[in-house]
Chain A
């Protein structure tokens, strides 16, 4: 029942800001500049867990920003890939935030972050097994039912693969989509990072990815570890050239798609993020023009 209900959200009209122009992460250091200058941005994305307080500046400024822009809400704490039952108290708080902000999309991760009563504050990987898929599907169904909307699941950045995995990542994600009716948030930087770390071809990864379910794209920067042998999904650098190229390739595969410039650390002047957003818009325009020019 849940799957059918959420697959019906296909084709639902998206808010125009979200659909048309690239968004950027909303961070406290940008609040006042955003409200003073109202820059041309499609939407702002928040991390749900940073906006669950009853008051204070986060909630105050979010309300102001919401008056001018579309929002997307990105959860980082539901631990959908975990062994344990979901933290219902936390789900309830997230649900209240989603009801209050009415975001264009709500997204979460193919990862786990809670063990017993402890929150580990990282997006930890899961083995791609049938048993894990069953658990993840249950959790995604549960969240979609409580939020009463389709949610998007983001592909992870991973630094190792499990021996015990029996499915490849794209198969696992495709099964998840088919069983739950969830949509996908395709993080292109994560594709670059994971494929580099596991010596795979990012283009082949995208070729086998269930692109029909992608409703949003994330772009971010990475760093290299000390030995320069692993790429780390740090979100504290500008989007790298190879990620821009992979993004362009993704757009060529799926056509235009709502996109976010994601930044979580080493914050530059807001203008730098806006420049990256404009570059994404430029690439999106090119792909739209291309699709119009193609003979029917």
Chain B
């Protein structure tokens, strides 16, 4: 029964229609169409909730048409719908009607990763005060180890999707001055209950990437004259991305 039903939902076969009560084939199909519509509309709605900025940017009609195509090829594999859409950004990258907006795929990757961060457990973090106190007592700076929490992630995009995303967190997005084609480095983490992103310089991005490999500060310092360690540490402490700072 399920094979027939599933095939009928996605219009691969009408075999199920024979098992539907009705006065005419038209009536049977009308009844079946309620389920076809329910499945597509509910999944389109779910994708709209997962990618709200993308939906806002392209408009409801375009988004739903794109989502419809995606759903045909990629059904959810879990009843937890907030996990749906993991490859939506890859799909968009290869979806011809979306090519006029080359940043859309990257934006969707950002939205998806932030939602998944939101749904992770709240990380153990050092408060700004605790981090400041630890740093003020350091005796051997060369032995300092900066441990980033597990939720701390990096993203490099050829487009300014972080700025675009942040602008759309305001009731009236202000896109004036936003250069979407400028490449962007982002730190993704969790602030309170929600996933959030912060723009980084390229040197900061490489510094944090190195810290993720090896928390020893002396190994992570980038060979970049423009890198300001004090300023970067102050930002990272404010964003509460460390779960421990110690002298290893």
Contact status B32-A160, CB under 8 Å: yes
Contact status A163-B20, CB under 8 Å: yes
- For chain B, residues 124 to 154, give those with C-beta under 8 angstroms from any C-beta of chain A: none
Q: Mark A48-84, 1 if CB is under 8 A from B, else 0.
A: 0110111111101000000000000000111100111
What are the 10 closest A-B residue pairs judged by CB atoms, nearest first?
Answer: A77-B79, A53-B119, A160-B31, A54-B121, A159-B34, A118-B75, A55-B121, A119-B76, A56-B118, A115-B6
Q: Mark A187-222, 1 if CB is under 8 A from B, else 0.
A: 000000000010000000000000000000000000
Most chain B CB inside 10 Å of its own CB: which residue of A90, A115, A127, A132: A115
- Nearest Cβ on chain B to A73's Cβ, whole angstroms: 14
Contact status B77-A119, CB under 8 Å: yes
Known: A119-B76, A163-B19, A230-B30. A55 touches B35 (CB 8 A): no
Which one of A115, A119, A160 lies within 8 Å of B21 (CB-CB)? A160
Q: How long is the Cα–Cα vector from A77 to B42 in the complex, in angstroms?
A: 14
Contact status A82-B2, CB under 8 Å: yes
- Nearest Cβ on chain B to A80's Cβ, whole angstroms: 12
Given pairs A121-B79, A162-B21, 4 additional interface contacts (CB within 8 A): A58-B119, A83-B2, A118-B6, A160-B20
- Nearest Cβ on chain B to A105's Cβ, whole angstroms: 20
Most chain B CB inside 10 Å of its own CB: which residue of A50, A60, A162, A227: A162
Contact status B19-A119, CB under 8 Å: no
Instruction: Judge whether A161 is part of the interface by a CB distance below 8 angstroms.
Output: yes
Q: How long is the Cα–Cα vector from A50 to B82 in the complex, in angstroms?
A: 8
Could you pull out 27 A-B pairs where Cβ atoms are within 8 angstroms? A49-B79, A53-B119, A55-B122, A55-B193, A56-B119, A57-B193, A78-B79, A82-B2, A84-B2, A115-B3, A115-B5, A119-B75, A119-B78, A119-B79, A121-B81, A122-B35, A122-B39, A124-B35, A126-B1, A132-B1, A159-B34, A160-B20, A160-B21, A162-B20, A163-B20, A163-B21, A232-B34
Chain B contact surface mostly? helix
Instruction: Judge whether A112 is part of the interface by a CB distance below 8 angstroms.
Output: yes
Residues of B within 8 A of A225 (CB): 30, 34
Instruction: Judge whether B183 is part of the interface by a CB distance below 8 angstroms.
Output: no
Q: How long is the Cα–Cα vector from A49 to B84 in the complex, in angstroms?
A: 13
Residues of A within 8 A of B182 (CB): none
Instruction: Judge whether B161 is part of the interface by a CB distance below 8 angstroms.
Output: no
- A residues sitting closer than 8 Å to B (CB atoms) are 49-50, 52-58, 60, 76-79, 82-84, 87, 90, 93, 112-122, 124, 126-127, 132, 159-164, 197, 225, 227, 229-230, 232
Q: How long is the Cα–Cα vector from A87 to B76 in the complex, in angstroms?
A: 14
- B residues sitting closer than 8 Å to A (CB atoms) are 1-3, 5-6, 9, 18-22, 28, 30-32, 34-35, 38-39, 42-43, 46, 75-82, 118-122, 190, 193-194
- Nearest Cβ on chain A to B88's Cβ, whole angstroms: 15
Residues of A within 8 A of B75 (CB): 118-120
| Chain A minimum-CB-distance residue to B190 | A55
Q: How long is the Cα–Cα vector from A50 to B238 in the complex, in angstroms?
A: 31
Q: How long is the Cα–Cα vector from A196 to B73 in the complex, in angstroms?
A: 35
Known: A112-B2, A121-B46. A57 touches B118 (CB 8 A): yes
Residues of A within 8 A of B76 (CB): 118-121
Known: A119-B76, A225-B34, A232-B34. A162 touches B193 (CB 8 A): no
